[in-house]
Amino acid sequence: MPSKATPKTSEQKAPEGAEPVKAKKVAKPAKGNKPNALQQPLQPSEDLAAVVGEEKLARGEVVSKVWAYIKANKLQNPKDGREILADDKLQKVFGKDKVTMFEMNKHLAQHLK
């Protein structure tokens, strides 16, 4: 009859007092290297520029600025934080009154070139 010993796990705990490991920031490409898709500066459309500004930005920066705008204007649904209630500027970008945070990137991609 097999024993009912608890299986050993490969999970290791950090020693007490150890600081958590922080994620490294995405490094800019070295000279001569082409930036990857997330680092590529893109021009926002006029509708999106009303929210994030006119200058070229990487996708990650665009998403960060849109989230800053959403939080500053309290546009998250209080009952469901995943839902964004678009104001007039964001309605032009999203094309509808409400979007989920998961749909947001799909709509933003249509406004970046």
Region 58-71 average pLDDT: 94
Beta carbons of 111 and 45 less than 8 angstroms apart: yes
DSSP 8-class letter at 86: -
User: pLDDT tens for residues 9-48?
Assistant: 555 555 555 555 554 555 566 666 777 877 899 999 999 9
Alpha-carbon span 12 to 3, nearest angstrom: 24
Name the one residue in this structure whose structure tokens are 């947001």: 104
pLDDT at 73 exceeding the cut of 70:
yes
Tell me what pLDDT residue 23 has.
47
Q: How far is CA 81 from CA 19, 27, 54, 65, in A?
A: 30, 31, 28, 17
- What is Dmax (Cα atoms) for the chain? 72
User: Which percentage of the chain shows pLDDT scores above 70?
Assistant: 72
Fold of 46-109: MDM2 (1.10.245)
